[in-house]
Structure 1
Amino acid sequence: MPDSAVAALLAQGRPRADAQRNVERLVAAAREALDELGLAVTTRDIAQRAGVGLGTLYRRVPSLDALLAAILVDTIDEMTGRAAHALDSPDPWQGFAEFAEAYVQLRASSCGLHDALSGRGERLDLDGHINRLQKAVRQLVQRAQKAGVLRTDLDWRDVPFALATAIPTDHTIGLVPDDDQWHRNLRIILDGLRPARSPAPATPAEPAAPSD
């Protein structure tokens, strides 16, 4: 399947085969650098990873922002597609949980995506794509709430914030997370999003009277 980020960057004109290969290498290198370094990535980082000079990078892509935006749009649209697919699931909870796992996994695997969805990608003009993702998430949450499998006391906007907290910090109280920590955090969060099986008592139960 053609890389849509590559296709977006090659949309103008009919590039030579060697030019297309250079764009493919630059996109692959930029994805890797974005995942590791986030939006602080530089053209030098990308060119070095791609094994090309800065001159080649500047000839093959309009700008650093255009390169990063093409990659992030690709991933954000993938998330939106996952949400749309989840809406077709016959089981509202299963569909929601599968999307939640894909959403957190994608954010956890890419510092650049995490930065962009955290509001640090204003210069990249991603608003339209993020708005479509928001709409899909809202529909997914509201469907699960209507089915009674997701807490109805939550605003749909609470859910993406809650899911984002599944991504662990570098360390806490001297502990370092392992690679699967996000997955365990997500299980805890999903449990908390489900309706309570029975209402909690309004007041603590009275202690049992001592027997004679």
Structure 2
Amino acid sequence: MGGETTARPLRADARRNRDRLVAEARAAFEQDGVTASLEDVAARAGVGIGTLYRHFPTREALLEAVLRERFDALGAEARTLLGHARPREALITWAHGFAAAGTTFRGLTAALSATLRDESSALHASCVSMRAAGEALLARAQHSGEIRADLTVIDLSTLVFGVAWAYEQNSGWGPGDLDRLFRLLFDGLTAR
């Protein structure tokens, strides 16, 4: 395992700094979107920008830390939905949650879409297990004959992000509009 090192546990003060940075980044991303100023995040956390970059060398690394809990929850939800009696409905439920997670912060759908095939991205690594769980739901729905057999998990992710992006861009839309877009999307993905 050539270049791997074992990470030492953080000192208590470093752990507090990291936790404050994640909390302040979440607040900044909620207010200003994923392009929020990292200098402002550091200042709000009461640390210097160097401390932020020591913990999170890139914006994506910080965004991944903010989103990790949500991604883990989506992976767990997918594993639970594997036991659902109706595979197509299970896939739709999971995809809806996936889209909702993608619209958490303004600009997030674009950031997540850019990482789908970029294995060097911190967000890509975080999304792998979530996508794998979604892929199992997709395979189950395809095996049941309810969803097109030629759809890949990357195709599905791209389409879901497209719906989420369209929803994000139309501030006058409500949750009913997102539901309607999903019905249209999955009508097109249903096996004939």
Length-normalised TM-score, structure 1: 0.66
Aligned to 1:192: 188
Once the two structures are superposed, residues 1-60 of structure 1 have per-residue CA deviations (whole angstroms, 9 ceiling, x without a partner) of xxxxxxxxxx724415xx65554333222113234444423322313544x2536x8279
| Structure 1 portions without partners, runs of 5+ | 1-10, 197-212
**1:141 Cα offset (Å):** 0.9
Counterpart among 72, 76, 82 of residue 71 in structure 2: 76
Give yes or no for contact 2:115–2:123 (8 Å, CA) kept in 1.
no
Q: Relative to structure 1, is the Cα distance of residues 54 and 76 closer, same or farther in structure 2, using a 3 angstrom cutoff?
A: same
Counterpart among 24, 29, 35 of residue 29 in structure 1: 24
RMSD (Å) for aligned C-alpha atoms = 3.3
Q: Which residues in structure 2 correspond to 1:64-143 (within 5 Å)?
A: 65=58, 66-111=61-106, 113-119=108-114, 124-143=121-140
Report whether the alignment pairs 1:145 with 2:142.
yes
Length-normalised TM-score, structure 2: 0.72
**1:156 Cα offset (Å):** 4.2
Aligned to 2:169: 170
Counterpart among 45, 50, 54 of residue 48 in structure 2: 54
Structure 1 window deviating more from structure 2 (128-137 vs 96-105): it is 128-137
The residue identity in structure 2 corresponding to 1:12 is P
Structure 2: distance between partners of 1:160 and 1:136: 12
Q: Relative to structure 1, is the Cα distance of residues 190 and 59 closer, same or farther in structure 2, using a 3 angstrom cutoff?
A: closer
* Greater helix share, structure number: 2
Q: Secondary structure at the match of 1:187?
A: helix
The residue identity in structure 2 corresponding to 1:158 is D
Query: Between Structure 1 and Structure 2, how many residues are aligned?
Result: 179
Structure 2: distance between partners of 1:44 and 1:33: 11
Give yes or no for contact 1:79–1:133 (8 Å, CA) kept in 2.
yes
The residue identity in structure 2 corresponding to 1:54 is G
| Structure 2 portions without partners, runs of 5+ | 1-7
Q: Relative to structure 1, is the Cα distance of residues 135 and 159 closer, same or farther in structure 2, using a 3 angstrom cutoff?
A: same
Q: Relative to structure 1, is the Cα distance of residues 131 and 120 closer, same or farther in structure 2, using a 3 angstrom cutoff?
A: closer
